[in-house]
Copies of this chain bind each other. A is one copy, B any other.
Amino acid sequence: MKAPTLTDVARHAGVSYATADRVINGRGKVAQKSTAKVLQAIEDLGYVRNVAAANLSQSRVYRFAFVLPKGVNAFIQKMRALVSEMSARLAADRITAHLYEVDRFVPGALAKVLEQVRADGHDGVALVASGLADAVPALEALRAEGMVVLTLVSDLPETARAHYVGIDNRAAGRTAARMIGLAHPDGRLGRALPVVAGLEAQDHSDRFEGFCETMAQQFPHVAIAREIEVQDRPDLMERHVAEALDHAPDITAIYNTGGGKSGLVRCLARLPANRPRPVVVAHDLVPSSREGLLRGLFDVVLDQRPDEEVARALSIMRRASDKLPVPPVEPIVPAIYVRENLPPVRQAQQA
């Protein structure tokens, strides 16, 4: 009924508590014989170390850092809100989550932030490393010191991080292609316009590649127009997409890998009534894309579920800093929103 304690194990093995402890925590200085006996007792009794008690005895608190890019990007704002929300909820478990911001465009800013994270004595750090490839050495150093490093949203080389928490961006691009293909049944001809923030960001280029791959393979009857880059800027989005639609009246689909969506909404809303609306697939459920769906301007929104990302990041950092085995981290499966399955808008809850 009651779980066996280490004291039980020691008794069962006929050794002292301390010896049993030395065995399970591998602090050496134990005779072969004792080790064997303890191991056997653990086996017999089915002993499992009580993490809560261990933490209590050390007054252990978990300190985790989230590093997010500065800026007004709606998706990142949502992540920020989620982190502080989670943070409040985890107080009872002695887990703290601190938020750090890094300016993507100031060289060396990230290094400084990471230094701060280190100085603040965190057990783990999760960072959105989109366009931050130069962080690799600093992260390797942090990891060498025992800190748990996670990438969020956009991945980095394996040496830089213990796990990646986020969607499979290539697969997301392929999925978008499939959705657009669905809307071109029976070989109906068409042309798809890809709109990206910038191809230097790993996540965007992965999505773009996956998209092209599936379009070409599965839906050759739908051509791919030259992609447009809009740098997270709604104004550019609005202008460039409008131009593209003007020049190529045969465009039947748009795939936006993310960024500047509000401009897309405006542009689509302004389309002449007699022009058939293109199928529109975009990324991330934020106010503008929600509006797009509700107004019938967007058809499908792929969302990487930031809430799940934050929750998973926390749970992984916790397990990892307990040195427990971390179960294989599979990519997060994006949610696919259409007009009919939008979740209710949820106000941030107060403290």
A185 contacts which of B94, B178, B184 (Cβ < 8 Å)? B184
On whether the beta carbons of B61 and A2 are closer than 8 Å, the reply is: yes
A210 to chain B, nearest CB (A): 8
- By beta carbon, the residue of chain B nearest A342 is B171
A89 is an interface residue with CB less than 8 A from chain B? yes
Q: Which residues of B contact A168 (CB under 8 A)?
A: 341
Number of copies of this protein chain within its complex: 2
Interface readout for A220-245 with B: 1 if CB under 8 Å, 0 if not? 00000000000000000000000000
- Once bound together, how far apart are the Cα atoms of A185 and B335, in whole Å? 23
The answer to the question of A50 belonging to the interface, with a C-beta cut-off of 8 Å to chain B, is yes
Known: A3-B61, A182-B179. A92 touches B340 (CB 8 A): no
Number of residues on chain A facing chain B (CB within 8 A): 57
**Is A151 positioned at the interface, with any CB of B under 8 Å from its CB?**
no
Stretch in A12-20, A107-115, A324-332 with 4+ CB within 8 Å of B: A324-332
Task: Quote the shortest CB–CB distance from A9 to chain B (angstroms).
Answer: 15
Contact residues, A42-61 vs B (CB, 8 A): 48-53, 55-56, 59, 61
Interface CB pairs A-B, < 8 A, 18: A2-B59, A48-B91, A49-B92, A53-B56, A89-B327, A171-B340, A171-B341, A172-B341, A178-B341, A179-B182, A182-B182, A182-B183, A182-B299, A186-B276, A330-B343, A333-B335, A333-B343, A334-B335
